[in-house]
Amino acid sequence: MSTVFVTATGTEVGKTVVARGLIKELRAQGRPVEALKPVVSGYDPHEAAGSDPGLLLTALGEPITPDGIARISPFRFTAPVSPHLAARREGKKIDFNAVVELCRWRMQSCPGALIIEGVGGVMAPLEDHRTVLDWMVALGQPIILVAGSYLGTLSHTFSAVDVLERRGISIAALVVNETAGSPVSFSDTVESIRTFCPNLDVQGLPWLGNGNFNNAVFQHLAAKFTIESIDGGQGQPDLLRNHGAA
């Protein structure tokens, strides 16, 4: 694969952690990599460095600038709620087709690995009738599903896997990102998910509270990429104009 879509069983379980770790590992191997998180809610321009697009830029070794933020995340909304509600609060609406077209353009023009990070969980609404799941189906790329190790994650994870498989989405890996302070055993959670999902590549990622991304899980994920040189495509599509892009 040369493109992967990073999604999750819910919000705040570690999509950006996994995306950053994979970016850092690919860069450490000297491999070209780009990142895209088209839609982000809860974005505060005064805290750009700690935002998801800001963290992705840092992982890419790029400065955090307005242009860089806009390139990574053109659809940015202030309210920390689901994307469709965040857009509605600003009198906007996310153009689903524009989001898909942007991703396809980047997939065609990216000279190396492309990591697309979703927003919220698998079923997070993007607009009134379509969700992140519909977005992933439209792109047709392999995904990395990120889950936590909190109490209740087993039901959330199995539900997510079921709906993904029913829609024909290829799960390249399922990463269980350890939830800090969880009363549930991390190793037991990983083992339970492996037992119920025997056909999936399940990886346990210990909590990275110290910010050290030098972990064998990222090396394992990076090995899944087969990068072919792609000729640059046309310029960025105009579909972003007047369709919710900040």
Q: Which of 15, 37, 93, 224 is catalytic?
A: 37
Instruction: Please answer whether residues 96 and 130 qualify as being in contact, where contact means their C-beta atoms are separated by less than 8 angstroms.
Output: yes
Inter-CA distances, 58 with 7, 17, 34, 71, 150, Å: 20, 12, 12, 14, 28
15 labelled catalytic: no
CA angle 26, 112, 202 (to 5 degrees): 50
CA–CA dist 241, 243 (Å, integer)? 6
Q: Helix, strand, coil: what percent of the chain each, to 5? A: 40, 15, 45
Catalytic positions:
37
